[in-house]
Structure 1
Amino acid sequence: NQDETDLFISEEMSSRRVVITGLGLVTPLSTGVKSSWKKLINSECGIISLKSSTLEEKEEGKFNELSSTVAGKVKPGKYDEGGFDPKEWLDPGDERKMALFTQYAICAAKQALNDAEWAPTSDFEKERTGPNHAVSTACTTGAHAIGDASRFIQFGDADVMIAGGSEACVLPLTIAGFAKAKSLATKYNDRPEEASRPFDRDRDGFVISEGAGVVLLEEYNHAKNRGARMYAEIRGYGLSGDAYHMTAPLENGAGAELAMRRALNNAKLSPKDIDYINAHATSTLLGDIAENRAIKSIFESSSASHKLAVSSSKGSIGHLLGAAGAAEGIFTILALYNNILPPTLNLYNPGDPASDFLSFNYVPLDAQQHP
């Protein structure tokens, strides 16, 4: 009987909870979770000028003719000083064989494994025969990878999974392409730390960045039985598409609204149960408005509107593209775990129009302790 089969699958899924037990980050703020988080909540910014003296001369010259010359670059150096050195993470000789984004991914994955203290010893535990799943969905790649992994665990396909996103795209060709589409910030080339301005009326585009975010997901009882620290539980996951335009969202944010409603339904939660949203908010003219309207359409009329906080980490790190959802997902996990709301940098004048930004706390400029 198909109905009985569907019921069995549904009950099996609902009984398998998914938790996060390990975190790994490579960001323009720092390499490492603790150091990146500390700088984020201290309102530091990892965005630099591509004409900066911190770049190698041969690298700097490649960017001089571009209309946007700001970016979030991963800093080289030792890990214990917040830098990235591939020799600390890769086997000898592998650096020459691997693309930079792969190096970032391995670094973040090893951090997550170490953080989770997941070092299986038995032959059974060492079997890595679960789903090997690649996601390529542009700026949602990292978030989709984590969400898909959580569903694999819910379905019983695996007990432990590593998931996330990685990007190393601060290249002249990449920047030229986005600049041609008029997507990048160009007004702040002489003030790079002011260039990424989520929700601010003076925003003029996103700042391209690089890095990686990786998490270790586990089935709840698996994590509990081995005494693992649990940062958070994944309660709901929602996806959507508005089929409107290749790059521009619907002005009313209908696509984003649908994804959030599906996540709430999946989690069996109502809008009043939510008190923090880490927004995608890339600092583009159309995207920020549409996303904010999507949030308002769900939460403004609920009793949660007076307490809901909304912030974007992109003022601090720029847009990590395929790694954005994973890195910012980790910041969201840390916000919950530490009860701290990370700030939206450069948010001096919300808008335009300002009337769209009266409903919620957008955590401007400085982190806040959650009440």
Structure 2
Amino acid sequence: MEFKRVVVTGLGALTPIGNTVSEYWNGLISGVSGAAMIKSFDTTKFKTQFACEVKNFDADGFLGRKDARKLDPFVQYALFSTEEAVNDAGLDFSKLDTSRIGVIWGSGIGGLKTFLDEVTAFAKGDGTPRFNPFFIPKMIADIAPGHISIKYGLRGPNFTTVSACASSNNSLIDAFNYIRLGKANMFISGGSEAIINEAGIGGFNAMHALSTRNDDPATASRPFDLDRDGFVAGEGAGTIILEELEHAKARGAKIYAEMMGGGMSADAYHMTAPHPEGMGAALVMKAALEDAGMTPADIDYVNVHGTSTPIGDPQEVKAITEAYGEDIYRINISSTKSMTGHLLGAAGAVEAIAAIMSVKHNIIPPTINHFTDDPAFDPKINFTFNKSQERIVRAAQSNGFGFGGHNASVIFKKFEE
């Protein structure tokens, strides 16, 4: 069977360092940190009092107050980034076969804020179940693609992928496979997350997963630095329009890059900790390369999972070393989580956009906040510390790993006829 080719024709982003793709990309290559003290709730009694929050997002202005109240923030974010992507792709759905356009979305947790508010209100009451009728449809993780399809009248495949921090990489891989198998012409794909609230921060604090560098939030996300002490929570959304090549050409679409393949694997090791030797991570990178029909020699940049945790960063370096061999010294590696924080289920999509933009613009965004070398890492590896680097980027790979041992990796390359 001959596979269809799949290209990227639209992008949208809502991130802690920019509310459009342009703002986000400029923030990345400029090395801007999105971390600051949390404004959305009182953190006085919390171990971690900072995060990478979305800034200047006006849900009421975007959706109208009545409709905004019916939607959890993770859905608001999804609709916002998707509107940018749809406009960017120049889509007029009235002229397209919407039965062959679908939505596959990723979210690791879904409507956590809605769940927290409703259960807290019940607990404070007299035991009478006075729940909001929108409680369940606001909370469930699958509702974001539902709202996207309703807004645009899209009747193709529609579902959510949930694999913790690999979720939106999985959504991209699923969409890619449906298109290349000829089952659809186009997908709106990506992910969103909104966990910066008492339950999200408190829960990750209880796991000792978050940085507690309250005295210096802007430099708290320190991937591959000796003094890294945990990840910084982030929020937002990323949308990628994936489209069958001939369909895109027929409507005169601009093309950012070509999606070449994706890999999936499991650590089969621990509920939250990655495999110490990076076995699952190495396997998923090799699987993505094989799926793409490429070798390490074809890749110039790897956007790593790189969460800034003491145990997570070393296993990924071991994995890249295993997957890339001597090519590890030729490529650039960077963790954009040093700037955006960790967007959990939205991380894959937002970081895939960074990979796509690096391919388009031939710039590697940096890993900021590097102060002290970790002797555990080979000094010959180019982590792109502190400053973006210009180089020809023929292709880029982007990794996402999640609690439960879920791994997903995607590859994009320069488009050629």
Give me the TM-score of the superposition, normalised by structure 1.
Answer: 0.88
User: Whole-Å Cα distance in 1 between the matches of residues 215 and 164 of structure 2?
Assistant: 29
| Equivalent in the alignment of 1:315 | 338
Deviates more, 1:103-112 or 1:359-368: 359-368
One-letter identity of the residue aligned with 2:81? A
Counterpart of 2:168 (choices 142, 151, 154) is: 142
User: Whole-Å Cα distance in 1 between the matches of residues 328 and 305 of structure 2?
Assistant: 19
1:171/1:60 Cα in 2 relative to 1: closer, same or farther (>3 Å)? closer
One-letter identity of the residue aligned with 1:154? R
Deviates more, 1:334-343 or 1:223-232: 223-232
Cα pair 2:192 2:345 within 8 Å, conserved = yes
User: Whole-Å Cα distance in 2 between the matches of residues 339 and 229 of structure 1?
Assistant: 18
1:258/1:126 Cα in 2 relative to 1: closer, same or farther (>3 Å)? closer
* TM-superposition CA deviations, 1:118-177 (whole Å, max 9, x none): 112237357732111211111011111111111111111110100111011001111111
Counterpart of 1:110 (choices 61, 70, 83) is: 83
* TM-superposition CA deviations, 1:59-105 (whole Å, max 9, x none): 442x11111111000012xxxxxxx2223432562101000110000
1:357 counterpart SS class: coil
2:224 is the counterpart of 1:224 = no
| Equivalent in the alignment of 1:344 | 367
Counterpart of 1:74 (choices 48, 54, 60) is: 54
CA shift at 1:321, angstroms?
0.6
CA shift at 1:226, angstroms?
1.3
2:40 is the counterpart of 1:46 = no
| Equivalent in the alignment of 1:282 | 307
One-letter identity of the residue aligned with 2:74? F
Counterpart of 1:248 (choices 273, 283, 287) is: 273
User: Whole-Å Cα distance in 2 between the matches of residues 105 and 70 of structure 1?
Assistant: 23
Cα pair 1:350 1:357 within 8 Å, conserved = no
Cα pair 2:98 2:155 within 8 Å, conserved = no
Q: Which of the pair is proportionally richer in strand? A: 2
| Equivalent in the alignment of 1:132 | 158
One-letter identity of the residue aligned with 1:253? G
User: Whole-Å Cα distance in 2 between the matches of residues 213 and 227 of structure 1?
Assistant: 24
User: Whole-Å Cα distance in 2 between the matches of residues 200 and 342 of structure 1?
Assistant: 17
Deviates more, 1:292-301 or 1:122-131: 122-131
User: Whole-Å Cα distance in 1 between the matches of residues 290 and 240 of structure 2?
Assistant: 24
One-letter identity of the residue aligned with 2:75? T
2:8 is the counterpart of 1:26 = no
Point out where structure 1 has 5 or more consecutive residues left out of the alignment.
Answer: 1-10, 77-83
User: Whole-Å Cα distance in 2 between the matches of residues 267 and 321 of structure 1?
Assistant: 25
2:239 counterpart SS class: strand
CA RMSD of aligned residues (A): 1.4
User: Whole-Å Cα distance in 2 between the matches of residues 216 and 71 of structure 1?
Assistant: 29
| Equivalent in the alignment of 1:334 | 357
Cα pair 1:293 1:356 within 8 Å, conserved = no
User: Whole-Å Cα distance in 1 between the matches of residues 282 and 175 of structure 2?
Assistant: 23
2:242 counterpart SS class: strand
One-letter identity of the residue aligned with 1:265? E
2:144 is the counterpart of 1:119 = no
2:328 counterpart SS class: coil
User: Whole-Å Cα distance in 1 between the matches of residues 36 and 96 of structure 2?
Assistant: 47
User: Whole-Å Cα distance in 2 between the matches of residues 213 and 122 of structure 1?
Assistant: 25
User: Size of the alignment, in residue pairs?
Assistant: 339
User: Whole-Å Cα distance in 2 between the matches of residues 323 and 350 of structure 1?
Assistant: 29
CA shift at 1:357, angstroms?
2.9
User: Whole-Å Cα distance in 1 between the matches of residues 96 and 191 of structure 2?
Assistant: 28
2:10 counterpart SS class: strand
| Equivalent in the alignment of 1:156 | 182
| Equivalent in the alignment of 1:79 | none
One-letter identity of the residue aligned with 2:361? N
1:89 counterpart SS class: helix
User: Whole-Å Cα distance in 2 between the matches of residues 305 and 345 of structure 1?
Assistant: 20
* TM-superposition CA deviations, 1:283-332 (whole Å, max 9, x none): 0011100011100112233xx33321000001101000110011011011
User: Whole-Å Cα distance in 2 between the matches of residues 110 and 129 of structure 1?
Assistant: 17
| Equivalent in the alignment of 2:348 | 325
1:133 counterpart SS class: strand
Cα pair 2:289 2:295 within 8 Å, conserved = yes
CA shift at 1:279, angstroms?
0.3
Cα pair 1:130 1:157 within 8 Å, conserved = no
Cα pair 2:16 2:236 within 8 Å, conserved = yes
2:181 is the counterpart of 1:201 = no
Identical pairs, percent: 42
| Equivalent in the alignment of 2:25 | 37
CA shift at 1:259, angstroms?
0.4
Cα pair 1:74 1:211 within 8 Å, conserved = yes
CA shift at 1:356, angstroms?
2.3
User: Whole-Å Cα distance in 1 between the matches of residues 347 and 97 of structure 2?
Assistant: 34
Cα pair 2:172 2:190 within 8 Å, conserved = yes
1:238 counterpart SS class: strand
Give me the TM-score of the superposition, normalised by structure 2.
Answer: 0.79
